[in-house]
Amino acid sequence: MKKTREYTDDHARAGVGAPLPEIEVWENQYRTGYEIEISTPEFTSVCPKTGLPDFGEILIRYVPDRACIELKALKYYLVWFRNQGMFYEAVTNRILDDLVATCHPRRMTVTGAFTIRGGIATTVVAEHSSASREESESSSAAARASGGGAPRAIN
């Protein structure tokens, strides 16, 4: 008997490109390199395979540059995930990508600590650093200038 795959690539891609509510920002009044920590201990999303709810905590830590995240808009953004089927890894990375694109922080870490299911606890950590991005972009530019390869997208 041939075994079929239960999870498909469509499950893995679920929600990755879906439109989400806008995340608003406000102008940062202090440029001293302080860190902001935002915790949402009652985060919920949906498993793209089973449709069952997933529960966990999303922890966002960032050092703002010119903009800070407006919390009410962030709350509405995070509530959207309650109706969207996405794997833990996709949820955590999507939140990081959207927040970085919105507020352009100096540094940001998004941690998704999901509730134990079937005896397995899952924690996903996604990170962004503007310094490492600038280093990657400059080394890529240097490689292209020296004929060392095609340009590549940096996320």
Looking at the annotation, which residues are catalytic?
A: 47, 54
Element (H, E) at 77: helix 71-79
Contact 36, 87 (CB under 8 A): no
φ/ψ (deg, to 5) at 145: -65, -30
Amino acid type, 137:
E
C-alpha–C-alpha distance, residues 20 and 18, integer Å: 6
